[in-house]
Amino acid sequence: MPDKKAWSADDIPDLSGKMIVVTGGNSGIGYEAALAFARKRAEVILACRDLGKARTAAAQITASAPGATVEVMELDLSNLASVRGFSDAFHLRHQALHVLCNNAGVMAIPYRQTADGFEMQFGTNHLGHFALTGLLLDRLLATEGARVVNVSSGAHRMGKIRFDDLQWHNGYRKWMAYGQSKLANLLFTLELQRKVDAAGKKLLSVACHPGYAATNLQAAGPRMSGSSMLESIFSVANSLFAQSAAMGALPTEYAAVAPDVHGGDYFGPDGVAELWGNPVRVGRSAAAQDAVAASRLWEVSEQLTNVHYNL
């Protein structure tokens, strides 16, 4: 459990020799977490869809943390062929993987489909990361002290896994779809740890959420909808009420490196309604603790992605 003293990025231990992959590491929470890890001498891979933005972020990190080792690799979580391509490239270059931060995502966007025909939020936020983790599982299991960190959201509480219509072919509601994807992140965390424990393997599967942090995530949906007014409202709200992306990244960093983290833990801010503050263990909805739903979602996810975990 985090100490009474507020935990900060300064408390991250020396990470020399550690390999950390951060999906969506070019901006927001992912960028701040990658920067914090690099400053503590981890080898960091920014796994991003936009290579130009990723290279800019990598340059900013190395400028801020001289001597840091930052690698850029292409990963589009909305395309399973890209996920497999990233896995193949990673296997050729690296033998160890200490932390996989499943951070990238989209939020409350208009209805879109991934390259594989999945609803974009479910396909990117959950299925893409489910496939990525499964494809990198051998490297994780071969690395002592490895962790998988899934970035969820307080919005998981509004979520329901619609097994009869996971892809929202009927009655799409963007916030409910986002909630489903974030609930799926927590059920995946739960079931991965259960399966790892049952197999007698050593791997921590943990989750976190950033609270209300000022990132580009809030503006993406309004921008895609063509609503400049709503985009402006979110921008003003971020400036007035949100905590910084650096603060929002602390639960991710804690989950990734703190010594007292246990499998299945869920971290978020300690402030009012978990919107702001320093990282602590937080609660989750009853739906996020449903072992039957977690097992069913796992089976469906394997079928949809054709990624089967070798446990």
Residue 266 bears catalytic tag:
no
Cβ(206)–Cβ(149) below 8 Å: yes
User: Tokens 């970035």 correspond to what residue?
Assistant: 151
Sheet order of strands, 69-74 included: 69-74, 43-48, 19-23, 99-102, 147-151, 204-208, 266-269, 279-281
Calpha distance 96→26 (Å, rounded): 22
Residue 252: closest CA among 41, 43, 29, 40: 29
The DSSP bridge pattern shows strands 19-23 and 279-281 to be: unpaired
The catalytically annotated residue of 31, 178, 212, 266 is: 178
Buried b (16+ CB within 10 A) or exposed e, 278-311: bbbbbebbebbebeebbeebbebbeebbebebee
Residues designated catalytic: 178
